[in-house]
Structure 1
Amino acid sequence: MDHATHASVAPPPAAGGRPDPARPRAGGRWEALRRAAAGQWAAWAFLAPVVVYLLVFYAYPLYRNVELSLRDYTVRSFVRGDAPFTGVANYADVLGDPAFGPALWHTVVFTLASLVFQFTIGLALAVFFVRNFPLSATLRALFLVPWLLPLIVSSSTWSWMLNSESGVVNAALAALGAEPVHWLTSPDWSLWSVIIANVWIGIPFNLVVLYSGLQAIDPAVYEAAELDGATGWRKFRHITFPLLRPVSAITLLLGLVYTLKVFDIIWIMTRGGPSGSSTTFATWSYRLGFGNLLPEFGRGAAVGNLLIVAALVFGLIYIRVQRRQALA
């Protein structure tokens, strides 16, 4: 084949002798790949601190807690690192312990009562503050104070207020002619005392989140409902509450996870007493691991893992419900 044949097969050059811009250059493909690889490395560089943080402060402690619960750790074996492997024996001991039933019941009551009152009061306050009126911003800021205070300060304050001898709550009851209540030293009242303190601390969180959700609702929806003759309660029932459902769900989930692991308030106010009447899984786990002269690290870790499993189960339920609502 001669040169004329080759010339007829080759594509004609672009006008002016320049190469056709539609044809890729020889190094263009590799340049694009190099840039893509550089972008991926940059993305991993930004993700690296987060990954390291999760591994160091979440994955390793979780692994360590599981490992503790599967061995018979004492102070000596903990230092030497030669604790014998016991499998699920610690979990069996915990489930068979007479303190398991009361601790489970107290955890359920403490969690559900706190969630109900925190959410109800927080929603009522959010609905109240969503209407603009003078000093509304100032009042909202004041309601955030319990959330901003350190837990040790809030718990100590409630311990003083509910003191049987010198507390201001009993002083107010005496002024009204009522008998004093042994809030922190009575088995009938100790659990409700820590619930009251936890509700007071958790209301601001519910208020802030639900208030943000209410502000995201289009006012035109309420105007249309008013034209149809809807009253305040009907607007709340058929408009506010349904549109606020996604925000309410995440608020309840976060409140549930937080309340399950509440330790500071209970330990500072009652130490789980008297006679274990306010002991939850969180305080029981701490008492087993650190509250005795002969600590039981394995059993304490087993109780802590039960709390983790409970939070994980509720988290999976929330994800499943959210997916169903998205598909509906």
Structure 2
Amino acid sequence: MLTRTRTQEVAAFDDSVVSRAAAGFTARRRSRQWTAFAFLAPLVVYLAVFYAYPLYRNIDLSVHDYTPRAFVRGDPEFTGLDNYLDVVSDDTFLAALRNTALFTLGSIAVQYALGLALAVFFHRNFRLSVVLRAMFLVPWLLPLIVSASTWSWMLNSDNGIVNTVLQAFGIGQINWLTSPDTSLLSVTVANIWLGIPFNLVILYAGLQNIPADLYEAAGLDGANAWQRFWRITFPLLRPVSAITLLLGLIYTLKVVDIIWIMTKGGPADASTTLAIWSYREAFGTGQPDFSPAAAVGNLLILIAFTAGLVHVRLQRKEET
């Protein structure tokens, strides 16, 4: 009987130890979960306030008829997809879509090519490399209004420095900003100049992660500079190139300030992109029409979102 009682006491003690250990483990687990939630909360709040809510408001704007009076009274009429249908059927839509494609693809292609060339050039670490690299960052550091105003002055038809130089070589006056044939090209060139430093910085950082041993081994095997670039640099830089092009695409799709300051989307919508069209509908005419502007903005968001999905899919395909 005494032995049985002793056995029961030991079993009860073991059960108590196990229970306390389990309770302690549960408490520590809950503590870690609360700690994780505490670290995650600022990000969730940030995304909700600055992304989810604005997106919700933009969608709400696009499916109602928000006039200035409706904003004040808070009773906009629900229109469903009518604003989207009006935007797509508008004569400006196809022109803006074409200009957006030309402006965006032309900008990111030339920005990437020149940025990559400069990154490879500066990767040699020659004398004054740091100084010259810093000078190439100047366009990135200047306020956009300063850059756009400078390009407007340079491309001015009457007294711009570009036409002055061309006339010195016997070339007649070119109406860079006021001709439908050259206005889109002009704003694209200005945007390329602004975007080169970003591509240079990102691609140069990617080049730093490529082992120098690979270049030394290729040199010993007799590979020339082009072969080393095509067989080593370009393939190993592919992930960095993909994210650089994606970010460039997203940024260029929403460019407004450069085009608005230089041409305001004209003449005759020759340089009107979807972003400019959206801004002009909302703020540029003196008679705000917020709902169509929101619908155009949502189309831009959809294009950028689709590009992001394509990027993620390609990345997963490469990883597998």
Indicate the TM-score class for this superposition, using the shorter chain for normalisation: over 0.9
Quote the residue 1:307 is aligned against: 300
The alpha-carbon deviation at position 181 of structure 1 amounts to 1.3
Quote the residue 1:109 is aligned against: 102
The alpha-carbon deviation at position 3 of structure 1 amounts to 1.4
- Distance in 2 separating the partners of 1:28 and 1:166: 83
Task: After TM superposition, list the pairs within 5 Å mapping 1:179-328 onto structure 2.
Answer: 179-327=172-320
- Distance in 1 separating the partners of 2:72 and 2:205: 50
Quote the residue 2:159 is aligned against: 166
Quote the residue 2:148 is aligned against: 155
- Distance in 2 separating the partners of 1:291 and 1:69: 18
- Distance in 2 separating the partners of 1:123 and 1:133: 17
The match for 1:123 among 93, 113, 116 is 116
RMSD: 1.7
Determine helix, strand or coil for the equivalent of 1:183: coil
The alpha-carbon deviation at position 93 of structure 1 amounts to 0.4
The match for 1:140 among 133, 142, 145 is 133
Quote the residue 2:62 is aligned against: 69
Larger CA deviation: 142-151 vs 311-320: 142-151
Task: Report the residue type matching 2:71 in the other structure.
Answer: F
The alpha-carbon deviation at position 142 of structure 1 amounts to 0.7
- Distance in 1 separating the partners of 2:7 and 2:66: 85
- Distance in 1 separating the partners of 2:297 and 2:7: 80
Quote the residue 1:4 is aligned against: 3
Greater helix share, structure number: 2
The alpha-carbon deviation at position 295 of structure 1 amounts to 2.1
- Distance in 2 separating the partners of 1:4 and 1:130: 82
- Distance in 2 separating the partners of 1:10 and 1:263: 79
- Distance in 2 separating the partners of 1:26 and 1:100: 69
- Distance in 2 separating the partners of 1:169 and 1:42: 60
- Distance in 2 separating the partners of 1:5 and 1:294: 93
The alpha-carbon deviation at position 223 of structure 1 amounts to 1.4
Task: Report the residue type matching 2:212 in the other structure.
Answer: P
Larger CA deviation: 113-122 vs 172-181: 172-181
Write out per-residue CA displacement over residues 113-146 of structure 1, whole angstroms, 9 at most, x where no aligned residue.
0011100000000000000110100111111111
Write out per-residue CA displacement over residues 13-59 of structure 1, whole angstroms, 9 at most, x where no aligned residue.
xxxxxx99xx9465333223222222222222222222111111111
- Distance in 1 separating the partners of 2:173 and 2:30: 72
The alpha-carbon deviation at position 286 of structure 1 amounts to 0.9
The alpha-carbon deviation at position 303 of structure 1 amounts to 0.4
How many corresponding residue pairs?
318
Unaligned runs of 5+ in 1: 13-18
- Distance in 1 separating the partners of 2:66 and 2:5: 83
Task: Report the residue type matching 2:224 in the other structure.
Answer: T
Task: After TM superposition, list the pairs within 5 Å mapping 1:17-36 onto structure 2.
Answer: 24=17, 26-36=19-29
Task: Report the residue type matching 2:231 in the other structure.
Answer: H
The alpha-carbon deviation at position 6 of structure 1 amounts to 3.9
Unaligned runs of 5+ in 2: none
The alpha-carbon deviation at position 9 of structure 1 amounts to 7.1
**4+ residue runs over 3 A deviation:** 5-12, 23-26
- Distance in 1 separating the partners of 2:319 and 2:143: 38
Q: Could you say which structure has the larger radius of gyration?
A: 1
The match for 2:168 among 175, 193, 205 is 175
Larger CA deviation: 45-54 vs 25-34: 25-34
Give the alignment's TM-score, normalised by structure 2: 0.95
- Distance in 1 separating the partners of 2:275 and 2:204: 30
- Distance in 2 separating the partners of 1:4 and 1:65: 77
Write out per-residue CA displacement over residues 270-313 of structure 1, whole angstroms, 9 at most, x where no aligned residue.
00001110000001001111222332211111000000000000
- Distance in 2 separating the partners of 1:137 and 1:180: 39
- Distance in 2 separating the partners of 1:287 and 1:74: 15
Determine helix, strand or coil for the equivalent of 1:220: helix
Larger CA deviation: 196-205 vs 178-187: 178-187
The alpha-carbon deviation at position 82 of structure 1 amounts to 0.7
